[in-house]
A and B are shown apart, each in its own frame.
Chain A
Amino acid sequence: DAGVIQSPRHEVTEMGQEVTLRCKPISGHDYLFWYRQTMMRGLELLIYFNNNVPIDDSGMPEDRFSAKMPNASFSTLKIQPSEPRDSAVYFCASSSPTSGEETQYFGPGTRLLVL
């Protein structure tokens, strides 16, 4: 399996612009997670989906952030408008606890820099 795929790997944008991060989970995994990593806050969960349905979005910082999962093989995390404090590494992860695979496997991350 190719593992979790994220794109882009790096994104540099200017404040106010819309940013869209993309994730393809491991085939067969029914849980998908979005995490953010910063020096100040460490690794924090933003939102997760089960069978394409958002289960918990309490970690989403504010209304500027939105996430969707239109099908089992694709998810997006959108920031609109972006701000410099959104600069971070965003990780996507997937797992399949219903199949006994409790482990979350992470994608390579997207390094976002908002100027």
Chain B
Amino acid sequence: AQKVTQAQTEISVVEKEDVTLDCVYETRDTTYYLFWYKQPPSGELVFLIRRNSFDEQNEISGRYSWNFQKSTSSFNFTITASQVVDSAVYFCALSEETSGSRLTFGEGTQLTVNP
């Protein structure tokens, strides 16, 4: 069965600090997809990134970067030089090829960036 664990329930940082959000997943499939979504205080779920299991290249998008390591079943998300607008709940999610397209979400990490 698929499972996603985000051990950090809440993180609080001061603006301009770097912060890493952890995500560990469990799956028996060899083909799967990993996602990060952002849920700002307004409540919508905003897609940030998708990675498939065959692509372990790390990715950088502006201040955001993602580190995918199959050896440790982790897909961590780093925000560099955090800003107040980064304050949100961040969800890591997994979908397995054999489970249709269903997403299994982690519990989410509440990130608060203080000025």
Q: How far is the CA of A43 from the CA of B108 in the complex (A)?
A: 9
Separation of A104 and B45 alpha carbons in the complex (Å): 10
Q: How many residues of B contact A (CB 8 A)?
A: 20
Pairwise interchain contact A55-B50, C-beta atoms closer than 8 A: no
User: Which of A55, A89, A102 is B95 in contact with, Cβ under 8 Å?
Assistant: A102
Complex-state Cα separation, A43 to B104, whole angstroms: 8
Question: Interface readout for B49-74 with A: 1 if CB under 8 Å, 0 if not?
Answer: 01010000000000000000000000
Q: Is the interface of A mostly helix, strand, loop or mixed?
A: strand
Of chain A, the residue at the smallest CB distance from B48 is A103
Question: CB distance A106 to B44 under 8 Å?
Answer: yes
| Number of cross-chain contacts by CB at 8 Å | 54
Are A104 and B107 neighbours in the complex by a CB distance under 8 Å?
A: no
- The size of the chain A interface, using a CB distance under 8 A, is 25
B101 touches A95 (CB 8 A): yes
* Nearest CB of chain B from residue A53's CB, rounded to whole Å: 12
* CB of A103, distance to nearest CB on chain B (Å): 5
